[in-house]
Amino acid sequence: MQDLMDAPLDTLSPRSLEHIGFVASGTPEANAALEELTGVYGNVPLTEADVIVALGGDGLMLQTLHAYMGSGTPIYGMNRGSVGFLMNEYKVEGLRERLATAEVTTIHPLGMEVVDQTGHIHHAKAINEVSLLRQTSQAARLRISVDRRVRLEELICDGCLVATPAGSTAYNLSAHGPILPLQAPLLALTPISPFRPRRWRGALLPNRAKVDIDVLEPRKRPVSASADHAEIRNVARVSLWEESSIDGLIMFDGDHGWDERILTEMFRY
């Protein structure tokens, strides 16, 4: 799917755009938009839709992408929430024309495997990032390995995260991590409030890398791990990798695609 990134929808699939499924975040603003749009375009069950239109903010977009990851159904968001970096402008008129000319971008999630302090194994996927955070007033002590080689023997910090290009403008950016172009074959490894080594600012990793993070003193200094909205507490070890075989499809208006959004964010001050 790499060669199909940012292609118009009609080059990706011969399916028509007649069957649109709408989903709303549940806020009054999103519900009003849902009623208005379904009155004009109808609304099919999401499992039967050619394209899903998500009405809300970035949280709803992430939830919808998670639910339909690997299905081949593209998701087009319209902003009816507070944060809308992943969303397009809300308009009722000309929706089918906007969908027909929208750019479709392929994204891949991170896979996460967590071993907790009792030895139980948990799995989750993240579209934005996997973050490790201290659970108490005690700073976390972490050991970071990349492709089975220890790269940082000890990181004392509030936590750290590994972000995909899609998630590099979210929590990663707030933690002073780098913004990654969506097509970049990279992952951002970013510390959160590092105390020692104080000057370490993280690393850019190839997207084929496997990252293992061991929690040192896990009972004295407990740590949680979150993959987008899924959280596991009291973790002992976290392993991360890109799920390159799983595709999610997100749609942007051609005049304000992902590359333009990234450039705008890079030059924001």
Question: 12 or 189, which is more confident?
Answer: 189
Is pTM, for the whole model, over 0.85? yes
Are 238 and 252 in the same domain? no
Question: 73 or 9, which is more confident?
Answer: 73
Question: Looking at the predicted structure, is the pLDDT value of residue 246 above 80?
Answer: yes
- C-alpha 20/C-alpha 50 separation (Å) is 6
Are 136 and 227 in the same domain? yes
Question: Looking at the predicted structure, is the pLDDT value of residue 260 above 90?
Answer: no
Question: 263 or 199, which is more confident?
Answer: 199
CATH number for the domain that contains residue 42 = 3.40.50.10330
Structure token pair of residue 267: 């030059």
Are 11 and 91 in the same domain? yes
- The answer to whether the annotation marks 129 as part of a ligand binding site is yes
Question: Looking at the predicted structure, is the pLDDT value of residue 105 above 70?
Answer: yes
Are 140 and 216 in the same domain? yes
| Tens-place pLDDT, residues 24-52 | 999 999 999 999 999 999 999 999 999 99
- The answer to whether the annotation marks 205 as part of a ligand binding site is no
3-class secondary structure, 206 = strand
Are 7 and 101 in the same domain? yes
Number of domains in the chain: 2
Domain of 60, in residue numbers: 2-108+247-266
Look at strands 110-116 and 121-126 and give their pairing.
antiparallel
Structure token pair of residue 19: 């069957």
Are 36 and 59 in the same domain? yes
Question: 87 or 183, which is more confident?
Answer: 87
- The answer to whether the annotation marks 173 as part of a ligand binding site is yes
Q: How confident is the model at residue 5 (pLDDT cuts 50, 70, 90)?
A: very low
Are 238 and 262 in the same domain? no
- The answer to whether the annotation marks 174 as part of a ligand binding site is yes
Are 159 and 230 in the same domain? yes
| Tens-place pLDDT, residues 133-150 | 999 999 999 999 999 999
Are 163 and 89 in the same domain? no
Query: Which amino acid does the sequence have at 138?
Result: Q
| Tens-place pLDDT, residues 60-99 | 999 999 999 999 999 999 999 877 788 999 999 999 999 9
Question: 85 or 21, which is more confident?
Answer: 21
Catalytic residues: 58
Are 100 and 202 in the same domain? no
- The answer to whether the annotation marks 58 as part of a ligand binding site is yes
Are 118 and 232 in the same domain? yes
Q: How does the average pLDDT of the chain come out, rounded?
A: 91
CATH number for the domain that contains residue 115 = 2.60.200.30
Are 173 and 114 in the same domain? yes
* Helical residues (DSSP H) of 95-204, grouped into ranges: 95-101, 171-174
What pLDDT, on a 0 to 100 scale, did the predictor assign at position 211?
A: 98
CA–CA distance from 141 to each of 48, 135, 201 (Å)?
A: 48, 12, 16
